[in-house]
Amino acid sequence: MRLEGKRLKNFIAAGVLGMFAFSFPLTAHANVKRIHDPKVEAKSIQREENRIPTLREQVEKVVIAPVKEAFKVDVPENVSVKPTVSVSDTSIIGTPIATQKQCVKYLLRNNPNPNLPVSAEQIVAYYYEEGRREGIRPDVAFCQALKETGFFRYGGDVVPEQNNYCGLGTTGGGVKGEYFATPQIGVRAHIQHLLAYSSTRRPTTPVVDPRYSLVRQAYGSRTLGTWQDLNGRWAVPGNYYGQEILSMFRDILVQ
């Protein structure tokens, strides 16, 4: 009986191996046909399109993906910059937290008719374009422009035609400072001047800030890290200069 049982087991095992050997070429051939036969491939694609998404896929599409998009950090493409993730972060270098739409709304709420040759949306877009390129926080830089120009009302030494949004070259007493050909060049000069203070890295675009080299020569390997560090340097005496800029930035977020 033991011998018969052993023969039976061997017979079953041989049968299973035979079935596997017989089916393997068919399976392999079917795989090849699935790859190379256009008709079969089209049917496979059609079945995939008609397939009902799994619960995991539905959650990813409806819940997870929108959350990822909402919290996506906007990192500059050309330079390595640590993302700004906290409203309490006072660094000059970083990424925006406020949106362009929020910046426009804040400007127009405080001055419905800014004295600009371009729209409010366009001037904000320039700050985001130039700021992101150099790794300077564009939303806070825009607030500095609002402070310097009185929400683009002017009224001081600088006049609107200068496209000078940060008081570059002004020393008071009627000295108007620098002139720039276009609003975007004026914004670029502003961003480059902030970069001169905050980094030893040269701008990614040709220098248009006439005072960039002066700052770099004066500071050498030293840099300023925060907006408060501009107190008494960008503006004299400049008490609470950086704090006031940051206060405006936070107002943008809570308006």
Q: Residue 229: which residues within 8 A CB-CB, separation 6 or more?
A: 92, 197, 242
Does 91 score more than 70 pLDDT? yes
pLDDT tier at 62 (50, 70, 90 boundaries)?
low
Residues listed for the chain: 255
Lookup result for tokens 């940060």: 166
What would the mean pLDDT of 4-21 be, rounded to a whole number? 46
Is the pLDDT reported for residue 31 higher than 70? no
* Rounded-to-10 torsion of CA 100, 199, 162, 148: 60
Residue 5: strand, helix, or coil: helix
CA distance 155 to 208: 25
Residue 61 is inside which H or E element, if any? none
